[in-house]
Amino acid sequence: MPIVTYGTYGFSLLLVPTAGADFLEYERFQLINELAPFINSGKCKVFSVDSINKESWMNNDMPGEHKAIRHNEYNQYIFNEVIPFIKNSTSWNTPIYICGASLGALHSMNLFLKRPDLLNGVIAMSGVYDLTEYTKGFFDEQVYYNSPMHYMPNLTDHYILEQIRSSGRIHILSGEGDYEAPEASRAFAGVLYNKGINYELSIWGNEWKHDWPTWRAMLPQWLDTRF
State pLDDT tens for residues 18-65: 988 889 999 999 999 999 999 998 889 999 999 999 989 999 999 999
What CATH number is given for 52-224 in this structure?
A: 3.40.50.1820
pLDDT confidence of residue 93: 84
131, 82 contact by CB (below 8 A): no
| Residue partners of 13: CB distance under 8 A and separation at least 6 | 35, 44, 45, 46, 47, 96, 97, 99
d(CA 1, CA 87): 17
Spell out, as residue ranges, where the chain has pLDDT lower than 70. 1-9, 168, 227
Distance of CA 26 to the CA centre of its chain: 13
What local confidence, expressed as pLDDT, does residue 9 receive? 60
Write down the domain spans for the chain. 52-224
pTM: 0.93
Looking at residue 82, the DSSP 8-state letter turns out to be: I
